[in-house]
Structure 1
Amino acid sequence: MTTYRTALDERLLERLRGAVRGEVVEPGDPDYDDARRVYNAMIDKRPAIVVRAVDAGDAVATVDFAREQGLPLAVRGGSHSVSGHGTCDDGVVLDLGRMRGVRVDPGTRTARAEGGCTWADFNHATHAFGLATTGGVVSTTGIGGLTTGGGMGYLARRCGLACDNLLSVDLVTADGSFLTCSEEENADLMWAVRGGGGNFGVVTSFEYRLHPIAGILGGPTFYPLDGEVIRRYREMIADADEELGALLVVGLGPPVPFLPERWHGRPMCGVVACWTGPEDQDDSVRARLAGLGPVLGQSVGRMPYPVLNTLFDDMLPAGLFHYWKGTFSRGLPDGVIDAYVEYGASTPTIQSSTVVFPLDGAVQRVGPEDTAFAYRDVDFSTALSPTLGTREECEAQKDWVRAYYGALQPHSAEGGYVNFMDSDDQDRVRANYRGNYARLTQIKRRYDPGNLFRLNHNIAP
């Protein structure tokens, strides 16, 4: 029989059940295993309770309960935290996954979305009005973790990061207060949640600025894994209009119909394009992509923007085993490209990949001190993500990704993107925030002196 190290007093649980409208799940309940499960199967933790919140009041009650009982508190939105911050052993999980409402105001080009929304939820709602904002590249990702960590995506060159488009939030702080934060109200917290992660409270809703983006030209083009192709990609990004979002991917050829079967599972590189400019320039964009190198396969066409955001979904369902690392770089130095080619050739699975996000354009028009996201002088963010089918296989590939990460270090900034950090990267937190770290600790000390919100890439008070 399974035993649990923490058994909460039934009277306490009844009091919590009476304070929330959502569901309180505990060990022994029929749906406990489902309630504790997260996206990354490497994370296998057993919380004392999971509160499936349905509104902000539930979030307040759960925060109060965890603080009063001295229990660890994990906050979960889309559950995509690869480092496992959406769950914990022997503590409280506040699951926002049932809070998924989105209200769009087409007149002001804004949208307010609840904290449990995924990018699929958000994009579906905003696309109905021909509007969008920068989101992730897997539609099942939660808006909360991605936005509070910074928020990269296909639209970043044109629209900035997700956090740059954040206008206000509703936030539950460690003392149970419910605050609205914007540039005009609780501005210090507003500054902190734009890149500072989940350190400052539970965001129960986000208000975003939207942009007139509906149909786009998008999709992948595949090439041999060759440094010359990547160097031409580097030149293309430097010269391209900001309406061209283009992610570089290094990995193994996927089993898709537009790629010849002999290339399935073989090392290659690709560019996933997102052109939001005029349709009469589509052919020019295709020509630029074709000019990067020998085209092995291509599926680039007109589509609604939300469709582009789903292209990796089938390849990356919940339940796979992940371990991540990430870096920033100024430009793509030849040493970085050499590492892509060397380590990309030994990518372990089709689901594993190197993904490179351009961070120029609108991202760099925000100052390094304007938001908690400090790296406004880098041009690219690299995510290394070995993804395997079993725990044993994932453990075996950690040496590969650590060596790969080490090869990139001489050419990289000291810090990296917090959303690409795994659980063993806590020592990088200060570097991730550079000169903003001291201000973040001051805000943390003011609003969470007991460090209730510590199950994250923690900024200690």
Structure 2
Amino acid sequence: MTTVENTPTTPAATDMIGDLRDAVAGEVITPEDTRYDEARRVWNGVIDRHPAVIVRCINTDDVAAAVRIAGVYRPEISVRGGGHQVAGSAVCDDGLVIDLSLMNSVTVDPAACTARVEGGARWADVDRATQAHGLVTTGGEVSITGVAGLTLGGGMGQLQRAYGLACDNVISMEIVTADGELRDVSATENPDLFWAAKGAGRGLGVVTSFTFGLRPFGPDAAITQVIYPYEEAESVLRKWRDAVHSAPETVSPEAGLWSIPPDPSIPAELHGIKMCLAAALYAGDPADSAAALAPYSQLGTPMIDQSGIVPYVEVQSALDPMVPDGRRYYFKSHFMNELSDEAIATFIAFDQKRPTPLALTIIRTLGGAIDRVSPDESAYPHRGARFNFSIDCIWDDPADDERVVTWAREFFQAMRPFATGGVYMNFAGFEGENDVPREATHGRDARVEQVLRTYDPTGLFASAAARV
């Protein structure tokens, strides 16, 4: 992305910054601050934006004060939780960033099986705290993912067919709305706001905390993770598709095309070789996992079988080294009701033109507990879809930006004929690319717009809502 030069601070911005310094106990960071470049960076290294001011809040009072002051000066606003969203929605040019990264505590009540999670936490924070009590909730497949962004967009994860999406496990939230008020939000308090925040949550305000319901699980988990030769990909994917139709809800199988990563447990001569991967985690007692996981190690001629029993926190963090802060990322995805032979052939044909060895294309199995949630219970519009197909581009050289993004967009277009038309908010590409047809939202967009008008009648958070 082209760097945007800093513009001179306007008198109004100077006044806003002064008011923020007077009202906020946390850090108020401007372009003159030595911490500015570090504070404006997000996970995706493609994103290079220059806000006028960043407010690192340390409590809900700071958030409320920042929102009230924003209501006076009307800057563009972005909200930073974990800073992990692919589109870089956590930061804006020339506006105000309300940064919750210092608000990252996780408090577990093991008797009630709940966890209160602040809006700046990442899933590693949640996994460590909940697993200390043998409890879990559905979280992201990479532990450095921000809790807030993933959850507000739905929240797929390896436990989704057993326990539902991340948003399905939210019992309540605290949200600072456009009037600067902190609201308790649940099925009984501000239920319309609660409904919208579960799956369409950006731009509704600033979520300062979530309370998640937890279930007993861990500390160990049984997984299957089998690498098959790339040459067998079409056969393996067809067999995988057939196997998942009878999969129990205790597994959420995945299959993908990638290159063997530089894992020290894998012989160095295999690093970088293209592969077909089949993987699943068993949501139950590892001693009972054999029958549920067996089909995914029998899809072809295994090159490497890394199946076994490992700590759940290690499963959740295994991919972290491949997707560190600062690398370049671009994701697109489709929902699909079936995985036809033609779809598989198209999938492989485009993957063969993969622009970088780090690019990953993956198919996740949906259904199970996801579909047991009534469509009326949340704004998440993709209940009933059978698969999510994701193009996850990862690269390092800025000179490759156009080539990589062009490939992903062409791949996305080629897969459209096999898709439902729905787009996962968390994998929607860059800002402005969330062009979801109205019919694909099943009427939810109109209801979300009504909630926005109720809680933000003057459009204070309109820019944040658009940054998906």
Distance 1:199 1:180, change over 3 A: same
Q: Report 1:270-349 matches (<5 A).
A: 270-285=277-292, 287-349=294-356
Letter in 1 for 2:457: P
Letter in 1 for 2:463: L
In 1, Cα distance between equivalents of 2:438 and 2:206 = 22
Q: Single out whichever of 431-440 and 205-214 deviates more from structure 2.
A: 431-440
Cα deviations by residue, 1:113-153 (Å, 9 ceiling, x for unpaired): 10000000011110011000111011111100000000000
1:436 — aligned with what?
A: 444
Tell me the secondary structure at the aligned position of residue 440 of structure 1: helix
In 2, Cα distance between equivalents of 1:185 and 1:174 = 17
Distance 1:126 1:65, change over 3 A: same
Letter in 1 for 2:148: G
In 2, Cα distance between equivalents of 1:454 and 1:354 = 32
2:221 is aligned with 1:216: yes
Residue among 236, 253, 267 paired with 2:243: 236
Letter in 2 for 1:155: L
Deviation at 1:82, TM superposition (A): 1.1
2:453 is aligned with 1:445: yes
Distance 1:375 1:164, change over 3 A: same
Letter in 2 for 1:435: G
In 2, Cα distance between equivalents of 1:188 and 1:459 = 22
Distance 1:451 1:356, change over 3 A: farther
1:219–1:308 CA contact under 8 A, matched in 2 = no
Residue among 233, 258, 263 paired with 1:256: 263
1:366 — aligned with what?
A: 373
In 2, Cα distance between equivalents of 1:294 and 1:258 = 19
1:244–1:277 CA contact under 8 A, matched in 2 = no
In 2, Cα distance between equivalents of 1:59 and 1:156 = 31
Distance 1:314 1:401, change over 3 A: same
Residue among 90, 95, 103 paired with 2:94: 90
1:4 — aligned with what?
A: 7
Cα deviations by residue, 1:16-75 (Å, 9 ceiling, x for unpaired): 112111100001111100010111111100000001111111111111122211100100
Deviation at 1:425, TM superposition (A): 1.2
2:280–2:293 CA contact under 8 A, matched in 1 = no
In 2, Cα distance between equivalents of 1:5 and 1:335 = 55
Tell me the secondary structure at the aligned position of residue 386 of structure 1: strand
Deviation at 1:262, TM superposition (A): 4.5
Letter in 2 for 1:74: S
Distance 1:3 1:316, change over 3 A: closer
Letter in 2 for 1:164: D
Deviation at 1:458, TM superposition (A): 3.1
In 1, Cα distance between equivalents of 2:294 and 2:183 = 50
Tell me the secondary structure at the aligned position of residue 126 of structure 1: helix
- Name structure 1 gaps, 5 residues minimum: none
Residue among 110, 122, 147 paired with 2:151: 147
2:118 is aligned with 1:114: yes
In 2, Cα distance between equivalents of 1:424 and 1:184 = 34
Q: Single out whichever of 240-249 and 400-409 deviates more from structure 2.
A: 240-249
In 1, Cα distance between equivalents of 2:442 and 2:154 = 14
Residue among 132, 137, 140 paired with 1:133: 137
Tell me the secondary structure at the aligned position of residue 393 of structure 1: helix
In 1, Cα distance between equivalents of 2:467 and 2:75 = 19
In 1, Cα distance between equivalents of 2:156 and 2:119 = 18
1:400 — aligned with what?
A: 407
2:462 is aligned with 1:458: no
Q: Single out whichever of 220-229 and 53-62 deviates more from structure 2.
A: 220-229
2:165 — aligned with what?
A: 161
In 2, Cα distance between equivalents of 1:138 and 1:126 = 16
Letter in 2 for 1:213: F
CA RMSD in angstroms comes to: 1.9
2:279–2:296 CA contact under 8 A, matched in 1 = no
- Name structure 2 gaps, 5 residues minimum: none
1:323–1:394 CA contact under 8 A, matched in 2 = no
In 1, Cα distance between equivalents of 2:242 and 2:464 = 37
Q: Matched residues, percent identical?
A: 38
1:41 — aligned with what?
A: 45
Tell me the secondary structure at the aligned position of residue 344 of structure 2: helix
